[in-house]
Structure 1
Amino acid sequence: MQPIEQSYHVTKAERFKMESSNKRILEHYIDMWSRGRDFRGRSTRAAYWSASIVNLLVSLILGAISAAIWNLDSNDLGPLEAIYSLVALVPMIALGVRRLHDVGRSGKWLWLSFTGVGIIPLIWWSLKPSSTELNIWDSPTIRDAKEAMTVVS
């Protein structure tokens, strides 16, 4: 009996997809911080939402700790939560830009978040699956893998 690797040829694109889908929630959150100033490339839907959820949970926990220490109301922004929000601002913007790239949009669309209604298309795009087409924001390795996948198929 042949091992799976020999009986089934795994393309670079398939390997990339498997590696990105096998990441756990905290790995996506750590990836958000490690790529915190990287506005190029793509981030998958799972990477975006995993990091966003962990970011929200950390913010809520720090808010609760601040409220307990400084006896704040639930509507007040505590110092721990404020500092964390400021530090996480650029990595979250970078993640949002990469997510927009993943669905074939420019990161400039993130400016819509400053309008009331503009948040609706941003949420819609963040919920869309990754674009399988090549676009100008693909890194060379992903582009090569996708081209190899089209040649193999």
Structure 2
Amino acid sequence: MRAFFQYFENFFFRAFNFSGRASPLEYWCVMPLIWIVILALLPGDAAEFWSSLLARQIPPLNPLYYDSILVFVLTIVPRLSLTVRRLHDSGKSGKWAKLPFIAIFSSITLALGIGSALLTSSVAGNEAVLGLAVLAALVMGSAESAWDGIFAAAIAANSLGWDVIWATLSDMTGGMPKPQLAQGVGDLAQSVKSDPGIGIPAILVTTLMVCTPVVSALLHLMFMLAPTKYEEDGFGGMLDPAPMRKTGGSSAPGIKRRDPLQSYACLFERSPEQEAALKVRQKQELKDLYRTRVLGQG
């Protein structure tokens, strides 16, 4: 339990330390709990925002007003430094800390690409035109009229109930023809055959957009779960990471720090006779020192 609290002490007081180490236990004791706190605060912030809309009041637009966003912002640097220290402990470079950001931004890009494709396709049809018209009315209109429209939409959605809204959306999307994956793949293969200069780059871009979020997330998870890597010194010994001992981490049993001057020990070796003579001489020196300093004898 004491080590558990020490992990959180390291999380806050070593927030700007990007050069140390963090054991797997330290990372997985701290990071999930931080995200649980953020997600636990999110429903309350959403309910407060929604209640303001229903009361026809403009909700606070400062993101830091909401507890979940505030905790998220305040823990960005400590979370990043903890990730870098965990990467160092697993023998990886701190540059791999970019993987979560790559996964998030690539997922957003992929979602925006799919959404734009649906809006511009013939499948979306009138629903896309209606959605674009509503969006244009909100953007081009004045701020007061935009907020009035948002208040009216919130009140209407609250009066209908989310069950009715989801049922309506299901009915709207149920009448749409399902996309034919095999036909799409066939069309793409046909375009590659007819014009490889355009089709092959399109396949590469599509594959990159789809695989980047998944690969980045899996690599980040694998690096965070990787065990501690002990580095060899220049004499064939194993070095215990000193920062782990300071932060309460555990080092592997049986692994000792090797003295680099051990090779010169032969220069100071003594025979048993020399060791016995040295002890006798040291005792005689102590007796002489006691007589002169304590007893005052010459």
Short-chain TM bin: 0.5 to 0.7
After the TM superposition, which residues 33-112 of structure 1 pair with which residues of structure 2 at under 5 Å, given as runs? 33-71=12-50, 79-112=66-99
Can you give the 5+ residue segments of structure 2 that lack an aligned partner in the other structure?
A: 52-62, 104-212, 234-240, 246-250, 260-298
Cα deviation, 1:106-147, whole Å, max 9, x if unaligned, reads 100112231412221221111111112259xx55896xx99x
Structure with the higher fraction of residues in helix conformation: 2
Contact 1:43 1:95 in 2 (8 A): yes
C-alpha RMSD over aligned residues: 3.1
Contact conserved, 2:21 with 2:243, CA < 8 A, in 1? no
Q: How many residues align?
A: 122
Match of 2:3 among 7, 12, 23: 23
Residue pair 1:29, 1:55 contacting (<8 A) in 2 also: no
Q: Which residue number in structure 1 is paired with residue 208 of structure 2?
A: none
Q: Hey, what's the Cα distance between the residues in 1 that align with 2:232 and 2:2?
A: 22
In structure 1, distance between residues paired with 2:93 and 2:27: 16
Q: Unpaired segments of 5 or more residues in structure 1?
A: 1-20
User: Over residues 73-117 of structure 1, what are the superposed CA-to-partner deviations in whole Å (9 max), with x where a residue is unaligned?
Assistant: xxxx98211111111111100000000000111100112231412
* Counterpart for residue 149 of structure 1: 256
Deviations for 1:8-64, whole angstroms, at most 9, x for unmatched residues?
Answer: xxxxxxxxxxxxx9612x432332111111101100001111111110121122213
AA at the equivalent of 1:83: L
| 2:22–2:244 CA contact under 8 A, matched in 1 | no
- The yes-or-no answer on 1:122 pairing with 2:102 is no
Give, in angstroms, the shift of residue 67 of structure 1: 3.0
- CA 1:79 to 1:107, structure 2 compared with 1: closer, same or farther past 3 Å? same
Q: Which runs of 4+ in 1 moved over 4 A?
A: 138-142
Structure with higher RCO (Cα < 8 A, 6+ apart): 1
| Most deviating of 111-120 and 40-49 | 111-120
Change (3 A) 1:102 1:66: same
C-alpha distance in 1 between matches for 2:38 and 2:232: 35
More displaced, 126-135 or 33-42?
126-135
